[in-house]
Structure 1
Amino acid sequence: MSTHPSPTRGPLRRRAVTAMAALLAMLAVLLAPGTAHASPAVQYTNPLAAQRADPHIFRHTDGYYYFTATVPQYDRIVLRRATTLQGLATAPETVIWRKHTSGEMGAHIWAPEIHFINGKWYVYFAAGRADDVWRIRMYVLENSSADPLSGTWTERGRITTPWDTFSLDATTFVANGVRYLLWAQQEPNISTNSNLYIARMGANPWTITGATTRLTVPTLAWETRGYKVAEGPAVLQRNGRLFLTYSASATDANYCLGMLTASASADPLQASSWTKSANPVFATSAATGQYGPGHNSFTVSEDGQSDIMVYHDRNYRDISGDPLNDPNRRTRLQKVYWTANGTPDFGIPVPDGATPARLMSYDQPGYAVRHWDYRARLEANVSPLADSQFRLVAGLSGSGTVSLESTNFPGYFLRHRDYAAWVQKGDGTSLFNADASFARRAGLSGTGTVSLEAVNFPGYFLRHRAGQVWLEQNDGTGAFRDSASFILE
């Protein structure tokens, strides 16, 4: 069922597996049961915040998450904090700065980011002039208070770059002890709206020094729909590499994320150190009702074990007038997964509501329950990722039960039929509802695992056997317990 929402559409059988991936899968089988998986399940409810675009969340050592974003009036910078990511949804919001009434920083207050550098707080943002709203440049605020919701925010002025042209979306990161600034700018004599640039930071967090490097220019079809755009850079450092995501195309349903990748040991100031993804790594999903995902940042889960992508999108495709005048971009969260070769897999923008998880095998580490041609099976290195993501929702058959809804085919649920497990569209009948409802039990094998017992067949559990998922009666053996136990990831 990887590519069809109804039986009338033929499945696209994409089964290419590299020799390395196959070897990794074989090694995974040899690992002992219960081997730690990439990271435990985390669950949030989307959207996190209505009418908040270009979101940036920073987790500080004081135990708080700090959240800022673009407001639709483009007239101020807001900040909220909470000890959990979900808590940001209801945390009070403080206005920490307002636009000027004239001159610089007088219009189009865009894309603030908050960072803690050398014991002080800094907010990077873009702004136009009150008398020339499209003269967008980058600016910095500073606050020396321990609590950025109090104290005084001092304007440190404009970030000076090699050209006095349209520039925005400044962000900063440290690699190998060196702090860098990344940003988007329109370079003279290049017919694009914005390209990505990098430079070292100088004596303070609002000054760059040395050579400026152009990292990428939007030239591919998915980067140039509506406008030729590369903007909103964000950096994720893992597995000996730097992953730089950026937003491309117009800010409507065409908006999407691309990615540049470099070795952590390479010089990030050399454009040749970076490789661009041939296709978007995150894009609109009509199936889940999420349009124009982009301008992301990264943070970590409360337990510090999962990378979380923060981004905005809309829940409708068609926009009246200029997308910049549409206020309904929403801040959203979802977990970042990692492939066998150590690269991030962002999947698709998940449906609104509870974020999904994956059912990972306890006794075959690295193997996940996935759907394929409607049949539930166990497989390593699942692609597309969403085939192995399920929302754990209130059971269709009533309270005290749980149902597993497909992420990329909302309305389709994991159910048993003739003792086999399938992913099929809910038809509302009592039979389907019962077949798709399970009692969530403590795992039959191992702490930290779960087992799913059929509501209408007590004593029967979902388990994997011969590469597929079945509903079978617990025979009490260790082999059954292991194969009926799953780790939520």
Structure 2
Amino acid sequence: MKPLHTLLPLSLAMTFIASAKPQSAFHNPLYQGEDPWVIRHENSYYMCSSGPSEPTAVYVSKSPTLTERGEKVKVWEDGDNYRRVFAPELHFIQGKWYIYFCADVRSEGWKHMAVVLQANTDNPLDGFTNRGVLFTGDEHGNAQANDITVVTYKDQLYAFWGSLADKIVEGAVMAPMDSPTRITAHRKEIGLHAEGPRAILRNGKLIMTGAEGGFASKDYRLSALIYSPDAGPIDDKKSWKPLGTLLKTTDDVWGPSRASFTTSPDGKENWVMYHSKIFNADDNGMRAINIKKFTFKEDDTPDFGTAASPTSLLENPSGDPGMGELYEAEDWQLSGDAAKASTNKNFTGTGYVDGFSKKGAKATFTADVPAAGVYRVILRYANGVKVEGEQQSFPKIYPPAQSTLSLYVNGAKIKRTQFHRTTNWDVWMFQGENLQLKAGKNEIAWQNDEGDVGQVTLDSAAVAKSSTPIHGLTGSYYNNRDLTDQKLTRLDPEISFNWGNGSPDPLIENDTFSVRWEGFITPLYSETYTFHSKSDNGRRLWIDKQPVIDKWLDDYDQTYTGTIKLEAGKKYPITFEYYEDGGGANTRLEWSSESQPREVIPSGRLEPAAK
């Protein structure tokens, strides 16, 4: 069936081709996010984060450049047993990948505890298995924890974390680890009265940074202690000496803190990744990710200088390939009300593109790539819309709404691109998309279509070969319950939706709609898999063209299962169909096997069908 809402490509002979140049400099902030964690491993940067706004999942992304995180891939989720999954960290220890975080845990009476995951393979995008709650207590028993990190110092692995609403200890504590998944020693205080402890190692010195001050306040800042071996053992807080404040609020950067540390690709420079508040308002928790170069003083303590202003143009890290070939938006082909502008500040080139508040506004550029494949297209945008109640202290609307434009590749509508709020129209951030491009010239366009919000300005786009494939399934959405009256096609990372009494998209009615997801699924194990589907209402599943689940029924919130034997590493075609009759709308598709814990099938194991 032909997808609706597509545009015919313009004749390449008539298309205006914007010139490109390598991206080599950037402004902060980079993108929306909080509690950033980055690690460099084998020529790539890996970032780790949680989400969504009530986080139950952990994501890992891979990128050749520190200036952009790459596609976020969900590597673990268990929303039934873990809530408020905060500040995950990815570590490579003794030849294996581990993720550490703290969360509210059902088995612990919903107390906030430290948890460790272990990677399923040597690729951290292949998913993780839960290794359980860590012991973070003392002779009184296990205790709550906040923001756990680990570090190897003088051949011993240590864990550091924040105590949480604890009557026995105050501030950050630590303990040696028996292994990456086991702590048996009792916790000891180190005297850091801050959350989010994270380590810097420098010439045999151990420095522990932390986020001090109210987390949603202007006073949120980065401070640190340094371990002094001559003063006593590492678990004696008298052996830790304060270094004071390392990063603090400026006129245009509020609450810079929660840092992690890495190097430039060539190892010649030290870089810090930290978050700051998007809106200059106390008790407003929206944050964005920043990076900046830092140095060390003669005594090997860090010197971070001043938090990088959104007006400061910074050079890429030394040896960093950057985001790719840069196409300035003011040179693109514009139609509708889209037009070049230069009123707002901090744009690159000679201007930017405005006018997307009206339907039909469209901006198109042509990317010329050497070979067919998956490319990362990174758009620099601003969304400075101000809505009463969103950006104030103690916001009445949280999180802020997003703007949207429809993304087209070679005339085919791919998805709606969502744009988070920026501080104002003079502050820009990045939004990346993984796109399948053909060899040669490709037309890439953003347009305000029916159902789009618009309200965004575009500054530039960068194009480079992606570090990861496209993950997820191709979803075709219909306005009838019998898979007719198709309204849109889009890429969905996984099948786990709860639309409540709403719908998947403004083009779809709230009731009597249906969806068909298509693509490929690749298991990790050669075993018999059980597929679980809970939906409101009907669902059907085929794998390798074999029916696995067929419950095209009006019942709701029932879970049906089916089994099929699969081979590890083999790519199987998968089709999942769903319809909504009336009232609430939700559907999810999970799998399990002898080796595979039951989970929503993660995006990393799914590949979309070609369209």
TM-score normalised by length of structure 2? 0.44
Distance in 2, matches of 1:296 and 1:134, equals: 27
Match 2:240 to one of 274, 285, 291:
274
Q: 1:301 to 1:187 in 2, by over 3 A?
A: same
Q: How many residues align?
A: 293
Distance in 2, matches of 1:333 and 1:129, equals: 32
Aligned pair 1:164/2:142, yes or no?
Answer: yes
Tell me the alpha carbon deviations over residues 211-233 of structure 1, each in whole angstroms, 9 at most, x when there is no partner.
Answer: 43200153xxxxxxxxxxx2111
Q: 1:60 to 1:395 in 2, by over 3 A?
A: closer
Give the letter aligned to residue 149 of structure 1: L
Distance in 1, matches of 2:27 and 2:266, equals: 17
CA contact (8 A) 2:163 2:171 kept: yes
Distance in 1, matches of 2:120 and 2:310, equals: 38
Give the letter aligned to residue 100 of structure 2: Y
Q: 1:394 to 1:355 in 2, by over 3 A?
A: closer
Q: Which has the higher strand share?
A: 2
Q: 1:394 to 1:108 in 2, by over 3 A?
A: closer
Q: Which has the higher helix share?
A: 1
Aligned pair 1:216/2:195, yes or no?
Answer: no
Tell me the alpha carbon deviations over residues 170-189 of structure 1, each in whole angstroms, 9 at most, x when there is no partner.
Answer: 11111111111111113743
Give the letter aligned to residue 245 of structure 1: T
SS in 2 for 1:180: strand
SS in 1 for 2:36: strand
CA contact (8 A) 2:135 2:143 kept: no
Give the letter aligned to residue 97 of structure 2: W
Q: 1:189 to 1:60 in 2, by over 3 A?
A: same
Matches within 5 A, 1:417-436: none
SS in 1 for 2:187: strand
CA contact (8 A) 1:298 1:310 kept: yes
Distance in 2, matches of 1:254 and 1:113, equals: 25
Partner in structure 2 of residue 351 of structure 1: 309
Q: 1:117 to 1:308 in 2, by over 3 A?
A: same
Tell me the alpha carbon deviations over residues 224-248 of structure 1, each in whole angstroms, 9 at most, x when there is no partner.
Answer: xxxxxx2111111114421111011
CA contact (8 A) 1:59 1:66 kept: yes
Match 2:295 to one of 319, 322, 337:
337
Q: State the 1:144 CA deviation.
A: 3.9
Give the letter aligned to residue 243 of structure 1: I
Q: 1:153 to 1:393 in 2, by over 3 A?
A: closer
Q: State the 1:168 CA deviation.
A: 1.6
Q: State the 1:334 CA deviation.
A: 0.9
Match 1:148 to one of 109, 118, 124:
124
Question: Quick check: 267-276 or 171-180, which moved more?
Answer: 267-276
Aligned pair 1:120/2:96, yes or no?
Answer: yes
CA contact (8 A) 1:242 1:264 kept: no
Aligned pair 1:303/2:281, yes or no?
Answer: no
Distance in 2, matches of 1:177 and 1:129, equals: 31
Tell me the alpha carbon deviations over residues 106-160 of structure 1, each in whole angstroms, 9 at most, x when there is no partner.
Answer: x11110000011222111011114699972111011114121111x411101011
RMSD, matched Cα: 3.0
Partner in structure 1 of residue 63 of structure 2: 82
Q: State the 1:295 CA deviation.
A: 1.3
Give the letter aligned to residue 181 of structure 2: W
Aligned pair 1:47/2:5, yes or no?
Answer: no
Distance in 2, matches of 1:217 and 1:394, equals: 41
Q: 1:309 to 1:188 in 2, by over 3 A?
A: same
Partner in structure 2 of residue 235 of structure 1: 199
Distance in 2, matches of 1:164 and 1:233, equals: 20
Give the letter aligned to residue 56 of structure 1: W
- Identity across matched positions, percent: 27
Q: State the 1:348 CA deviation.
A: 1.8
Partner in structure 2 of residue 92 of structure 1: 71
Match 1:249 to one of 205, 210, 213:
213
CA contact (8 A) 1:214 1:271 kept: yes
CA contact (8 A) 1:175 1:264 kept: no
CA contact (8 A) 1:142 1:154 kept: yes
Distance in 2, matches of 1:246 and 1:184, equals: 9
CA contact (8 A) 2:57 2:79 kept: no
Partner in structure 2 of residue 447 of structure 1: none
SS in 2 for 1:272: helix
